[in-house]
Amino acid sequence: MPKANSNITVALVTGANTGIGFAVATQLAKDHGYHVIFGSRNPTQGAAAAAAVTAEGFSATSVQLDLTSDESIAAVVALIENKYGRLDVLVNNAGILCDLFVSGLTTRQLFSQTFNTNVIGTACLTEACLPLLRKSSLPRIVFVSSRMGSLAEATNTSMPFFHADIKAYDSSKAAVNMLALNYARLLADSGGLVNAVCPGLVKTKLSNNSADGATPEVGARRIVEMAILGKDGLTATFSDCDGSIPW
């Protein structure tokens, strides 16, 4: 099978069928001319999201992607390898927040479910994509994290949600930050740019559509900025739209 045009930037966005993921994928396709692969656990919703972009004349496809399934991850990587031969941008956006919105879980269940998606699944996908990213002339990875995962901010009593009991989510995002730093090191020899980004409080399903949240389009801005970095761009950073966040 012939590979995709090398002049087209190929990006995979996880959790792209809704919320921040959809906003990121849409902005990359419409504003920057990327070919965006909409990764979605629900294939019907993913296909509909990608179709909304292609209907306007932009380049997008969809894949079924379940971060808790090694078979699903392997199938996505094989598809990208066969069709495009490389991956230029990976946006690790998919995540869950069980602490506040899923009742009846034991502590072990809470941490297991949270880490299985947010950390283990994200790590498995990123590791599986590493050979494809190394084939890019400018590999970029964005890990969607949270200020709640900052060890420095964890003692800041004025931080929003300081008193909220979301320890599983917070811990998972601290682990995501460590993944970002590790992959920044691993891709350094390929000129890779790997960064962690906090989108802030956004009105999505993950936040139970918080009335205080920004729109997904606003939440996507910094993520997109890190996804479109050029050569000699930032790497091994943690930031939001207002600037650097302490690790």
What would the pLDDT profile of 117-127 be if each residue is shown by its tens digit? 999 999 999 99
pLDDT confidence tier of residue 1, bands split at 50, 70 and 90: very low
Residue 101 confidence (pLDDT): 87
Reduced to 3 states (helix: H, G, I; strand: E, B; else coil), residue 136 is coil
Radius of gyration of the chain (CA): 17
pLDDT confidence tier of residue 2, bands split at 50, 70 and 90: very low
Q: Is the pLDDT of residue 177 over 80?
A: yes
Cα(57)–Cα(156) distance, integer angstroms? 46
Cα(113)–Cα(42) distance, integer angstroms? 18
Domains in the chain and their CATH numbers? Answer: 10-244 (3.40.50.720)
Point out the residues that are catalytic: 146, 169, 173
Note the Cα 37 to chain centre separation in Å.
12
pLDDT confidence tier of residue 204, bands split at 50, 70 and 90: low
Cα(182)–Cα(31) distance, integer angstroms? 30
Q: Which residue is listed with tokens 């008193």?
A: 163
Q: ∠84-198-36 over CA atoms, to 5°?
A: 20
Helices then strands, each counted (H, E), the chain: 7, 8
Cα(30)–Cα(44) distance, integer angstroms? 22
Burial level of 137, CB count in 10 A (0-12/13-18/19+)? exposed
Q: Which of 76-80, 204-208, 216-220 has the lowest mean pLDDT?
A: 204-208
Residue 7 confidence (pLDDT): 85
What pLDDT digit, counting tens, does each position of 6-23 carry? Answer: 789 999 999 999 999 999
What pLDDT digit, counting tens, does each position of 37-77 carry? Answer: 999 999 999 999 999 999 999 999 999 999 999 999 999 99
